[in-house]
Structure 1
Amino acid sequence: MSNTPKIAIIGSATIDKNVKGSRSIRKIGGTVTYAGITFQKHGLPTVIVSNIAPQDSGLLRTLRQQGLTVCSSPTEVTTSFVNHNDGDDRWQEMNSKASPITVDQSQSIIEKVDHVHLGPLHPSDIEPELFLLLGKQPCFVSLDVQGYVREINHGQVRLKVSETLHKVLFSVQVIKADHLELDAILQFYQMDCKTLKEFYGLRELVITKGDEGGYIMADEKVSFEAKPVPRIIDTTGAGDIFFAAYLIYRFHKHRNISESSQYAASIAARYVAGQYIP
């Protein structure tokens, strides 16, 4: 297998504190981490474009130990979140925000890969000029919309569609959103799902609903079920892993939508059960 990266993931790597009841654990996170490890575990050499502060070099080492290439530019702080999970009640706080990822640090990488996966965690995570560059490239581009349906207000993360999303959608082919994020987007643009897909020229929309499964909107709507999990260990990052696994089967292995979504659901279930990423 060639070690030349085939996929570039762009977005913040994070230091997360996950709080569940009276328990809390610290771990690395972000779409770049969860999706990056998933791509790499499937034999797809992956480079992460992210900004990690010098004092958090341990995060770099952890990612590289997973076989990932990491391109990090100077930043005073690394992005960090506190993820609260109290049964059905989940909320987030952002404690720190790394410098935005720039065109200069990304361009040479984007020009060499087959697939760019965008994983911003807030609206200013990636310089908007980068989307103009992506629109001129022949590579396949996928996006997890979560960073563009978030407003950070005094550290509190709230659901709100960013004006930047409009620019981003014109440069991507496939997006993933959870059902609440999709509802917010459709209300913001006053469109239904089919119109959104056609207006922005999207090939597919991947919509997740947690343990209820979800659906893929392509030429037709294809539903999928979540796989049962006997004991839930951690759900943080499950959507990132689902989407990465779906992209692998659907667009790298060229399987059909039903097979790809079922495979992705099985990988996500293994992760939630604590059996996929150490």
Structure 2
Amino acid sequence: MTLVVIGPVTKDLIVIGGEESQRIGGPTYYQSFVFEEFHKDYRAIVNCSDIELANSFPSKDKVKVILKEDTHYFINKYPFEDNLDIREQSTNFARIPILKQDLEDALPLEIDAFVLNPLNRYDFPIETIEYIKSFNVPVFISVQGFLRVPSDEVNGNYTIKLENFDKLSDVLEGVTSIFLDEDEASIIGMVFDVDEMVITNGSRGSRIVSDDEIIIDAVECEDVVDTTGCGDTYMAAYIAQKLLLKPREIAGSFASQIASRKIEKSGPYNSN
């Protein structure tokens, strides 16, 4: 079952306390490490200006780069080392849309499901979303990027604020699962034509809303080292289980466990 995972790869600056580190990032990047372990039949498609970023993925043969004129850049600041749920984030808000014609040249011949990971509302124009839906396969979408708008500007980067998107109903209509956190859920509400909403809440766990609501407890970490990419890791682990036709409660518990393991080490999920 070929899974196509699409979204930007990023250049990130991570600041925990006063300690800085430069990294590769983006949901598609973090998720590829999970799929490499639990769903090997995947392909990653990323948009950026630096083809060399593909070398950081766990399997370079599974990555296709759509070259653009810019790359998403993020600064993630965690001011309190003892509470990594609190993050201050800024970005360059790169405008590098993934177009229908980009995908026509990049998609594999067989596609059984899509995962879409926008980092801002420019990444996936409506025409691209409609093209992806036309394949009539399951579509899993991270909502966060569609809600992000620039706020204060400092040295070419912008702090992020969240606002509802007037075209969000069109974007989400008919998709299989949407993924978001509690803050985002409070902005967009709960009424959409989707099979389920998977809502995360950091160390407080998550919930899965469909015809009913399932509460998933967080798995306690022995040592919280790095929470960047935790939500992306949860999303990929959940999807991997759903593609195996596991029930929501099992998929959510598995995702919580994998996200917890990721948090205990720096960088993306590593089974070792």
The normalised TM-score by structure 2 is: 0.89
3-state DSSP of counterpart to 1:233? coil
In the alignment, is residue 271 of structure 1 matched against residue 246 of structure 2? Answer: no
Q: CA deviation at 1:21?
A: 1.2
3-state DSSP of counterpart to 1:51? strand
Aligned CA distance change for structure 1 residues 211 and 89 (closer, same or farther; 3 Å): closer
The C-alpha deviation readout for 1:60-111, integer Å capped at 9, x for no partner, is 1112x43552222232221110011123542211136252111111135176
Q: Residues 134-213 of structure 1 correspond to what in structure 2 (within 5 A)? A: 134-153=132-151, 154=153, 155-186=158-189, 193=190, 196-197=191-192, 200=193, 202-213=194-205
**Match 1:261 to one of 252, 257, 267:** 252
The C-alpha deviation readout for 1:13-63, integer Å capped at 9, x for no partner, is 10111111101111111111111221121133222222221xx34311112
Taking the aligned partners of 2:229 and 2:59, their CA distance within structure 1 comes to: 16
Taking the aligned partners of 2:76 and 2:238, their CA distance within structure 1 comes to: 25
Partner of 1:93: 90
Aligned CA distance change for structure 1 residues 130 and 171 (closer, same or farther; 3 Å): farther
Taking the aligned partners of 2:132 and 2:177, their CA distance within structure 1 comes to: 14
Aligned CA distance change for structure 1 residues 89 and 257 (closer, same or farther; 3 Å): closer
Partner of 1:58: 52
Partner of 1:244: 236
Aligned CA distance change for structure 1 residues 110 and 183 (closer, same or farther; 3 Å): farther
Letter in 2 for 1:21: G
Aligned CA distance change for structure 1 residues 169 and 177 (closer, same or farther; 3 Å): same
Quick check: which one's helix share is greater?
1
Letter in 2 for 1:6: T
Partner of 1:115: 113
Any conservation in 2 of the 1:77–1:96 contact (CA below 8 Å)?
no
**Match 1:84 to one of 77, 89, 103:** 77
Higher relative contact order (CA 8 A, sep 6+): 2
Partner of 1:220: 212
Any conservation in 2 of the 1:148–1:164 contact (CA below 8 Å)?
no
Taking the aligned partners of 2:24 and 2:10, their CA distance within structure 1 comes to: 6
**Identity %, equivalent residues:** 26
Partner of 1:189: none
In the alignment, is residue 17 of structure 1 matched against residue 20 of structure 2? Answer: no
Gapped regions of structure 1 (runs ≥ 5): 187-192
The normalised TM-score by structure 1 is: 0.87
**Match 2:68 to one of 70, 75, 97:** 75
Taking the aligned partners of 1:98 and 1:148, their CA distance within structure 2 comes to: 13
Any conservation in 1 of the 2:95–2:122 contact (CA below 8 Å)?
no
> What count of residue pairs does the alignment treat as equivalent?
259
3-state DSSP of counterpart to 1:126? coil
Gapped regions of structure 2 (runs ≥ 5): none
Taking the aligned partners of 2:231 and 2:17, their CA distance within structure 1 comes to: 22
Taking the aligned partners of 1:110 and 1:147, their CA distance within structure 2 comes to: 25
